[in-house]
Structure 1
Amino acid sequence: SDFHFTSSLAPRDTHPPLFPPFAGFLRLVNGSHRCEGRVEMFYLSQWGTVCDDAWDLKDVKVVCRQLGCGGALAAWGEARYGQGTGYIFLDNLKCKGDESSLLRCSHIRWNVHNCDHSEDAGALCSPLPSITGGGIRLANGNSSCQGRVEVLYGDSWGTVCDDDWDFPNAQVVCRQVGCGSAVVATVLGYFGYGTGPILLDNVDCAGTETDLSDCFNLGWGQHNCGHHEDAGVICFLRLVNGSHRCEGRVEMFYLSQWGTVCDDAWDLKDVKVVCRQLGCGGALAAWGEARYGQGTGYIFLDNLKCKGDESSLLRCSHIRWNVHNCDHSEDAGALCRLL
């Protein structure tokens, strides 16, 4: 298990369940680059923080690795990067430093702490060098994990043209900004028109790269586009209400909310795609009839018929997006092997 029970402290807020269905989304806030800032995790449709009790460089080392940054440079406490809001998800973290995620470190039970936001933990990692000489960000979205793709070259932020922009490119971006899996690659200025230079065009990723700059492109500043062609991404696919991050109700994020998938024709081939997309192990079970509880909002996909080798559910045959004959009593669920 990812969870280690090391305290009998009573939780201040008992709303989150004992085992968070997916709390692997991580970001650093209010720093000078994406590898510096207040440590935050995403769960229950909001970002929460980590307490600075026992916070040290070993913990920061795990954060840096999880976000695809360089070495751990400093472990800050006392809300050095400002006070967060909402839940304080983790306290008394004691990482060895070689874990793949903060959730694999010893810690007090999820959402159990004796802290307030004046004790929010911060991290400073070295940004990995790349041919961009800079970074990447998502702009003008309703969350930090969707928006117009902008890259830094020299001292200038600029946009990416949507020529050849597709799902593998979005996968690289979502992974690079610490937002997990991609849901949609957007085109034609979906998140509004950017300003300044158009820095990349004809980007062509395999989907496995760690940095957008590792993908084929025409070269910095070389393009034949306008900002009406600015590329964007929508990240997030998750499993909810399971016993670990690789089990639960299948949900996708779109139109500023989470929605579900109908269980019509839902089978192990579909689950195999979900497991691959979330970085989990093999597909173990395809569940229907809202086994993991009924979701809310839209039912985005119905009658999925995957072959099993697709890189995303959206690449499988299905009824047109947001067209279905289902209700939430038919929400699909998935069980993948936890790596």
Structure 2
Amino acid sequence: MKNPIGYLGNRFLGKEKATSEKKIEPMAPINVLINKEVAAHIRSWRFIVLIVLVVLTFVASLYVSSGNLRSAFGNPQDPDKSFLYLKLLTTTDNSIPPFHVFLNFLAPLLGIALGFDAVNAEQNGGTLTRLMAQPIYRDNLLFAKFAGPMILVSTLFTSLVLLMLGGGLISTGVRIEPQEVIRIAGFVVISLIYVGFWLSLSIFLSIKFRQSATSALTAIGIWLFFTVFFPIVINLIVRSFLPNPNYISEQEFLKYNELILNMLRLSPSQLYTDATTTLLSPSVRSLGPITMEQMIGAIPAPLSFRDSLMIVWPQVSGLTAATVVCFALSYFVFMRREVRS
């Protein structure tokens, strides 16, 4: 005679095991895909070269800023002199730019290099058809192509910031302020959003074009246009309509300058520069021209993190919206595309 307790226990355990497997099963393919993308990028030479470039620029900027901390703290007119760890990211002797300016140049290359062949390389190699033959949803594959590189980039930026904080604590012994931690964390988040925009754009181009070289050249061309040629085009267009400054009032001249700035903010690099400069420099009160009447009564004191975030909230929202739009376009095109070997 069978043991009824053991029989019921085995049925209960078997049902519980099946239920747990059903709960874990939907997340298993996406985890496998993300692990595959992370492992593929870690083993690639281009990612190693990009890591070396970012680390070298970070070390060089940190070395220059640490050598100029004494002069920065000796200036009594500087309202940001008490923020030591922010000075490590912003102080320079004009021999090389600070780290956030370097990152404005390197972050697009990082995003483009990690995503320009995300889909077309799989299709040209014949592995995309094999992946789609498995019980894997297309949106899981596309999300893994985006999440894998972002995990690596976020790990890289977080490690660099922790090394900077640890080196500052060991060398100076100065306690870090909570506001500095929040501002540096905000800088890392904005940098990740900026990399995510170029990564999602390069993934979209890798879906749109069959050849990896075409998608890479198109992404680099878009980056060069917004970085180099877009400010020149905007200045030429606006200056052609700008009257002689000697015959207009100060208010009209400020309106023209504000118009130029607003048009320049259509570029992702300008949005990133405005956001990082404001977060890393608490004394920045405005991103546009200010009249002397507006400066009357202003106290030269650093702003709180909330006030700085309110100033750059349009820039952060613009970068986030651009990233979401590029990823949505990638999703739309990839879901409607016929996958063939």
- Normalised to the residue count of structure 1, the TM-score between the two structures is 0.22
| Structure exhibiting the larger radius of gyration computed from Cα positions | 2
Q: Which has the higher strand share?
A: 1
Q: Which has the higher helix share?
A: 2
- Normalised to the residue count of structure 2, the TM-score between the two structures is 0.22
